[in-house]
């Protein structure tokens, strides 16, 4: 499995730890930056990782900023991305199982390296359920990306 990973300056140190852990576990890791703790703009890295996932060049994406929220918002602007912020293993399991999340965002200011590694492990090892109701809901999300005014409740 190929993983695209990116972070802004606030997530740089955690990204480096996760990148090393993932490589040691045998994952192919595509590091899309940032390369230091110098201040930078998180949407640039969110877009780069999201585009790798949507293109199929990466199977999943991981994004890290101080809270995880900015990366999540920015990544979800790319059609085909279902980014979710992870804070607990059960939450991450559910966003994979129910929502087929393809990008996980983490908050470096609120998540230790050990917690982040556990969340990433759940994200990468949990399969989508392929449940009919979840497939229907994901299709509605995709339709929102194409024509938001056409969706009926």
Q: What is the CATH number of the domain that holds 145?
A: 3.40.1400.10
Reply yes or no on whether 30 is catalytic: no
Return per-residue pLDDT of the chain as tens, 153 residues. Answer: 999 999 999 999 999 999 999 999 999 999 999 999 999 999 999 999 999 999 999 999 999 999 999 999 999 999 999 999 999 999 999 999 999 999 999 999 999 999 999 999 999 999 999 999 999 999 999 999 987 666 666
Q: Where are the alpha helices (DSSP H) in 7-130?
A: 12-24, 42-55, 69-75, 89-97, 113-125
The torsion angles phi and psi of 114, rounded to 5 degrees, stand at -70, -45
For residue 102, the enclosing domain spans 2-150
Question: Catalytic: which of 40, 65, 72, 134?
Answer: 65
pLDDT for position 152: 67
pLDDT for position 74: 98
Query: Residue 29 and residue 67: Cα distance in Å, rounded?
Result: 22
pLDDT for position 126: 98
Tell me how many domains the chain contains: 1
Question: Catalytic: which of 30, 40, 98, 134?
Answer: 98
Reply yes or no on whether 98 is catalytic: yes
Bridge partners, residue 104, by sequence: 62, 84
pLDDT for position 132: 98
């Amino acid at each position: 499995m190929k993983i695209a990973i990116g972070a802004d300056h606030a997530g740089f140190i955690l990204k480096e730890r996760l990148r090393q852990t993932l490589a040691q576990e045998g994952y192919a890791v595509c590091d899309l930056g940032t390369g230091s703790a110098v201040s930078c703009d998180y949407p640039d890295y969110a877009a780069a990782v999201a585009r790798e996932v949507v293109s199929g060049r990466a199977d999943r994406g991981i994004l890290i900023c101080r809270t995880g929220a900015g990366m999540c918002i920015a990544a979800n602007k790319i059609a085909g991305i279902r980014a979710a912020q992870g804070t607990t293993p059960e939450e991450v399991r559910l966003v994979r199982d129910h929502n087929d999340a393809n990008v996980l965002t983490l908050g470096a200011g609120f998540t230790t390296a050990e917690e982040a590694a556990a969340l990433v492990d759940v994200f990468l090892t949990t399969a989508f359920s392929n449940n009919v109701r979840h497939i229907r809901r994901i299709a509605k999300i995709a339709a929102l990306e194409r024509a938001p005014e056409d969706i009926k409740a």
